[in-house]
């Protein structure tokens, strides 16, 4: 049956810009798969913390990566996709401030990045994918049909992160969360391997003063334009 060719949508940007919220809503309305790659870096970080992996020791890291298996599964109770580490649902544990404080240094490690990038690139069998992170439009899928680069005002990002933590039953303090975001922005955008940067062909959206619906409509319309430009194709059976 001929159908419209599915596309890849890459959403990159700074911490706390609402990338995952947008990506999730977009994927649901297009019937695409959504992958939150930040959750994958967080899962590796959690494993390193729980197993005392020395991040200064490359052989320790290589050994640890061999034992890490990350998956995603829909949780009907929360209507969210949960992140699994070695078979266990660790969605709550990967969102703590302890993990947030350690995840940026872990994500500067090239062995960690290539381990995760390889897995992310394999999630693209049928395109029809919305992936959010820091390097999706630049490194993981440089050929993505639509690339969005999200930015937002600092205080607004902190408040959003606090709201998200509160929803998950975690207490956060404004100054601690602000310091964490500032520090992560700095590490994420200055690391030597795949730093966070806007792809040349990405569309920048400042969502500081956009409602979720306004932002969604903006990006949904951009996605539909790209999908409409695509060729018809016959899905492989």
Of 93 and 227, CB closest to ligand DC: 93
The residues that touch ligand DC, with contacts defined as CB under 6 A, are 15, 37-38, 41-42, 103-104, 107, 133-135, 184, 188
- Which CA distances in Å does 115 have to 17, 49, 237? 25, 18, 30
Q: Tell the smallest beta-carbon distance from residue 224 to ligand DC (Å).
A: 25
Shorter beta-carbon distance to ligand DC: residue 37 or 81: 37
Rounded to a whole number of angstroms, the minimum distance from the CB of residue 214 to ligand DC is: 22
Cβ neighbourhood burial of 74 (10 Å; 0-12, 13-18, 19+) = exposed
Residues 124 and 130: their CA atoms lie apart, in Å, by: 10
Pick the closer one to ligand DC by CB: 42 or 160.
42
Q: Which is nearer to ligand DC, 98 or 221 (CB)?
A: 98
Give the nearest distance from C-beta 54 to ligand DC in angstroms: 20
In angstroms, the first-to-last Cα distance of the chain is: 10
Q: Which is nearer to ligand DC, 183 or 222 (by Cβ)?
A: 183
Minimum distance between the CB of residue 14 and ligand DC, rounded to whole angstroms?
Answer: 9
Residue 179 CA, chain-centre distance (Å), reads: 20
- Residue 142 sits at φ, ψ, to 5 deg, of -65, -15
Of residues 104 and 219, the one with the C-beta less far from ligand DC = 104
| Minimum distance from residue 2 beta carbon to ligand DC (Å) | 34
* Beta-strand pair 88-89/80-85: antiparallel
Return the beta strands (E) in the chain as ranges. Answer: 2-4, 8-13, 33-36, 70-75, 80-85, 88-89, 129-133, 146-151, 203-206, 232-234
Q: Alpha-carbon torsion 194, 195, 196, 201, what sign? A: negative
CB of 16 to ligand DC, least distance (A): 7
């Amino acid at each position: 049956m001929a159908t419209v060719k599915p596309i890849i949508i890459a959403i990159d940007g700074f911490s706390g810009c609402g990338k995952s919220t947008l990506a999730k809503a977009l994927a649901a309305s297009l019937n695409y798969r959504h992958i939150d790659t930040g959750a994958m870096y967080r899962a590796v970080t959690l494993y390193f913390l729980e197993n005392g992996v020395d991040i200064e020791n490359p052989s320790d890291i290589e050994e640890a990566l061999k034992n890490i298996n990350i998956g995603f599964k829909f949780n009907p109770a929360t209507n969210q996709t949960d992140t699994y580490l070695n078979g266990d649902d660790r969605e709550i544990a990967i969102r703590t401030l302890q993990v947030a404080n350690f995840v940026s240094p872990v994500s500067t490690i090239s062995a960690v990045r290539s381990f995760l990038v390889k897995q992310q690139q394999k999630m693209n069998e049928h395109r029809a994918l919305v992936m959010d992170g820091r390097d999706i439009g630049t490194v993981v899928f440089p050929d993505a049909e639509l690339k969005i680069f999200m930015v937002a005002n600092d205080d607004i990002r902190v408040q959003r992160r606090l709201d998200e933590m509160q929803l998950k039953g975690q207490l956060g303090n404004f100054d601690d969360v602000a310091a964490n975001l500032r520090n992560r922005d700095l590490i994420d955008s200055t690391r030597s391997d795949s730093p966070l940067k806007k792809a040349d062909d990405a569309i920048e959206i400042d969502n500081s003063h956009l409602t979720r619906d306004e932002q969604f409509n903006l990006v949904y319309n951009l996605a539909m334009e790209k999908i409409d430009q695509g060729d018809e194709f016959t899905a492989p059976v």
